[in-house]
Amino acid sequence: MSFRFELHQTDPQTGARRGTFQTPHGPVQTPGFMPVGTQGTVKGLTIDQVKSTGAHMILGNTYHLGLRPGPEIVRALGGLHAMFAWDGPILTDSGGFQVFSLKDISKINEQSVVFRSHIDGAIVDLTPEYSIEIQEALGSDVAMVLDHVVALPAPDGEVQDAMERSIRWAKRCLEHASRADQAKFAIVQGGLNTELRQQCARELATMDFEGFAVGGLSVGETPDEMYRITAATTPELPVERPRYLMGVGRPIDLLESITRGIDLFDCVMPTRNGRNGFAFTENGHVKIRNAVHKTDTSPLDPTCDCFTCTRHSRGYLRHLFIAGEMLGPSLLSLHNLHYYQRVMAGARTAIEAGTLTEYIAEKKRLWGMQ
């Protein structure tokens, strides 16, 4: 089997897990964070810079890459690994989240979701099978099933209908898939209703997926609601498979979710916030455009050994942002990704040492959260 999840340790206090997910392109240490490369690039960074942050697996986007350049062009260019020039594992999402966020221009039926391309207005008929075909052409190591995501809050009936359709679509994805070198991950839906979430998780767990994701969260609900749903869902998932919380979140959300049994994360926050001049540091948030940094010769984060922090001052970084220079967003994205990886590496070490609770308490103190 090309894929194997080795569970090394479970924290007796919290239930947090330390594992290794083996893929054809190498291991992913968990808990782990995946930088998002929506369009075949982690925005603003070269692949060597991404690698320097300590990332093990990166994420590509089926919706965007399926529309442009299109699956056949990606295949002709040697697949996503060749395009990215990344020899490590890649996960692709199914496009479900993006399509359903275009709710004015998408239409769902049992067979598929039909939407207009945001690029040229062309009608696209995205079936679960076609989503898998696109991901097989992209050649990712992990393909996500196409799911039906509803905007929250929504009536229970609507959430249940979407959840049940997501299960039927997951089965269709599994049956259609033809690449043995590509793992399939199911996605648990069910909104903010714990019973629907648990029912969905139990039904998906009966199918032969290499991993399971919790989807449809981080869409405007409070962090406590997200933690509650995650905590209710993970006990229903197979212990011996990796669990991925999609699209989450802030460093504190990652740590809180690790204690609720999550192994993998992805989020645009480190790069998107970095582009906007917002840095995550060991001592909390830094808004680099603020005048207070004007003549500051100290590094963005004195405890960080990334390129940005070892070479440049806050004053210089602020200048780049004020002058609208493209290097500023790149340098902050690089630092933020580095910081996320550092928080995750610290969590892995803490789980191994049995000190995760203390590690999280210390981070909260440093981040000014308690």
- Residues within window 231-270 making contact with Zn ion, judged by CB under 5 A: none
Query: Considering the rule CB under 5 A, would residue 45 count as an interface residue with Zn ion?
Result: no
Host H or E run for residue 300 = none
259/308 with CB nearer Zn ion: 308
Q: Is 48 exposed, middle or buried (0-12, 13-18, 19+ CB in 10 A)?
A: exposed
49/160 with CB nearer Zn ion: 49
Question: Which structure tokens are listed for 347?
Answer: 């969590």
Q: Computed over its alpha carbons, how large is the radius of gyration of the chain?
A: 20
Residues 317, 219: Cα–Cα separation, whole Å = 31
Query: Considering the rule CB under 5 A, would residue 335 count as an interface residue with Zn ion?
Result: yes
| Residue that is written with structure tokens 């994360």 in the block | 265
Residues 218, 295: Cα–Cα separation, whole Å = 37
Compute the least distance from the CB of residue 284 to Zn ion, in Å.
14
Peptide bond preceding 31 in cis form (omega within 30 of 0): yes
Determine whether 263 is an active site residue. no
215/270 with CB nearer Zn ion: 270
Catalytic one of 141, 263, 266, 301: 266
Query: Considering the rule CB under 5 A, would residue 343 count as an interface residue with Zn ion?
Result: no
Helix axes 251-258, 223-233, angle to 10 degrees: 30
By CB under 5 A, which span of 90-98, 129-137, 308-316, 359-367 interacts with Zn ion?
A: 308-316
Determine whether 266 is an active site residue. yes
* Start-to-end Cα distance in the chain: 45
By CB under 5 A, which span of 86-94, 160-168, 268-276, 334-342 interacts with Zn ion?
A: 334-342
Among 55, 145, 229, 306, binds Zn ion (CB under 5 A): 306
By CB under 5 A, which span of 3-11, 116-124, 208-216, 306-314 interacts with Zn ion?
A: 306-314
Query: Considering the rule CB under 5 A, would residue 309 count as an interface residue with Zn ion?
Result: yes
- Residues within window 265-304 making contact with Zn ion, judged by CB under 5 A: 301, 304
Size of the site for Zn ion (CB under 5 A): 6
Query: Considering the rule CB under 5 A, would residue 25 count as an interface residue with Zn ion?
Result: no
Compute the least distance from the CB of residue 46 to Zn ion, in Å.
17
142/309 with CB nearer Zn ion: 309
Question: Which structure tokens are listed for 330?
Answer: 């790149």
Residues 100, 77: Cα–Cα separation, whole Å = 29
DSSP state, residue 133: H
With a CB cutoff of 8 Å and minimum separation 6, the contacts of 44 are 271, 274, 275, 326, 329, 330, 333
Compute the least distance from the CB of residue 35 to Zn ion, in Å.
15
Which active-site residues does the annotation give?
93, 266
Rule CB under 5 A: which residues touch Zn ion? 301, 304, 306, 308-309, 335
